[in-house]
Structure 1
Amino acid sequence: MITAATEAFAAGEENVTLNAIAKQAGVGIGTLYRHFPSKEALVEAVYLDQVERLRSGAAEALANHQPAEAFREWMDLFIEWAATKHGMIETLQKALTAGTLQRSDMRAELTTVVSTFLSAGAEAGDLRSDVAAADVSATLAGILAVSGAPGDDEQTGRMFDLLLDGLRPR
């Protein structure tokens, strides 16, 4: 159900219904409600699942590539994460307002992941050691805020390439 919800939210429709998600998951609406008693609960589960995917994606990328290349690969995963939030932004905002999700928690998670890449990159000599992870995290979020429309990742990718170029040692 999490996968079906993730796909539905990422599709770009603004008002994704629980009925549509249940149908896409191949379950009845009652089954969906037994696992997720509200749309907010489902959105929170999708959000937390995506945060975990960002974390595990970072570890996997670093295990398979040099840090700078791994970081850029992870940035593409970050784009996917952002796209997933598009269809659930209204409900996600309600969860943030209600306090069931904390904006500061996501910021801390993102900064921790970025710090992992920066530390590994500084040690390997392919990323600068004089850059604050919080600054890079804010830049990543800013790029997502101003780049192309959801589903049009070309500009976002170019902007991420520019960021990575700026993170390479001089």
Structure 2
Amino acid sequence: MHEAKGPSRRADARRNRERLLAEAQTTFAEHGTRASLEQIATRAGVGIGTLYRHFPTRQDLLEALLGARFDTLTATGRTLLATRPPEAALTEWTHAFVTATTTFRGLTAEVARPLDDETTRLHASCTAMREVGAELLRRAQESGTVRADVSPADFFVLVTGVAWAHEQCAPDAPERVARLLDLLFDGLRR
């Protein structure tokens, strides 16, 4: 049999990668970040070898999914910085952060990993996302609506804690997240 070469093969590889990412998103949402990679490949209609060609490790697959989320959070933060009052911008972005990091069980821990590991592909995306979050916090502090003694590190620990609690206790209860974030912001306000 003649093997396809050139652009059609690259297009097929792109489609396989897109299907794998879509199925990984769905499977991780249903079963958490430790879900079976074989199940993801099967659901995408490809063999496990194809999955490993695109994503040699589970971490590579998660990084592909998370990189897009971090980039979206960065873009959202920049838009909010330009269009919303400081406290509203910080609040909206924090809600978006918690939503993005609790889509599937185990993601909160995966989000924390690239923070200090400069060797991961996620590090740059994560750093940019955290810088936008820190700028949103700084602007809210300068406006006088948020306590000046809260560091960006403190803020991210608190927000990640809310995300973790939501993931563990009430993943299907968005009103719980809203309440926890309201309590968090009550503590952050001057």
* TM, length-normalised to structure 2: 0.64
Unpaired segments ≥5 residues, structure 2: 1-17
Structure 2 CA distance for aligned equivalents of residues 157 and 145 of structure 1: 14
Higher-Rg member (1/2): 2
Q: Secondary structure at the match of 1:86?
A: coil
DSSP-derived class of the 1:131 partner? coil
Deviation of residue 33 (structure 1)?
A: 3.9
Given the alignment of the two structures, is residue 62 of structure 1 paired with residue 81 of structure 2, yes or no?
A: yes
Most deviating of 126-135 and 80-89: 80-89
Q: 1:150 aligns with which of 130, 149, 171?
A: 171
Q: What is the aligned counterpart of 1:122 among 111, 136, 141?
A: 141
Q: CA deviation at 1:116?
A: 0.9
1:48 equivalent in alignment to 2:61: no
Contact 1:72 1:161 in 2 (8 A): no
Cα deviation for residue 160 of structure 1 reads 0.7
Matching residue's letter, 2:99? E
Q: Which amino acid aligns with 1:28?
A: V
Q: Note the C-alpha offset of 1:119.
A: 1.6
Q: How has the CA–CA distance of structure 1 residues 37 and 72 changed in structure 2, closer, same or farther, with 3 Å as cutoff?
A: same
What is the TM-score with the length of structure 1 in the denominator? 0.70
Query: For residues 83 and 93 of structure 2, what CA distance do their matches in structure 1 show?
Result: 12
From 149, 152, 156, the counterpart of 1:133: 152
Residue 131 of structure 2 is aligned to residue 112 of structure 1: yes
Q: Which letter maps to 1:157?
A: A
| Residue of structure 2 aligned with 1:160, choices 160, 167, 181 | 181
Q: Across the two proteins, how many residue pairs are aligned to each other?
A: 164
Cα 1:146–1:61 shift into 2, 3 Å: same
Offset at residue 71 of structure 1 (A): 1.6
Q: Which residue is 2:35 aligned to?
A: 16
Give the percent of matched residue pairs that are identical in Structure 1 and Structure 2: 30
For 1:37, the equivalent position in structure 2 comes to 56
The answer for the alignment partner of 1:75 in structure 2 is 94
Partner Cα distance (2:24, 2:151) in 1: 35
Change (3 A) 1:7 1:75: farther
Q: Secondary structure at the match of 1:84?
A: coil
Could you tell me whether the CA contact under 8 Å between 1:118 and 1:128 is conserved in 2?
Answer: no
Structure 1: segments with no counterpart, 5+ residues? none
Is the CA contact (8 Å cut-off) linking 2:101 and 2:108 kept in structure 1? no
Q: Which protein, 1 or 2, shows the higher relative CO under an 8 Å CA cutoff with sep ≥ 6?
A: 1
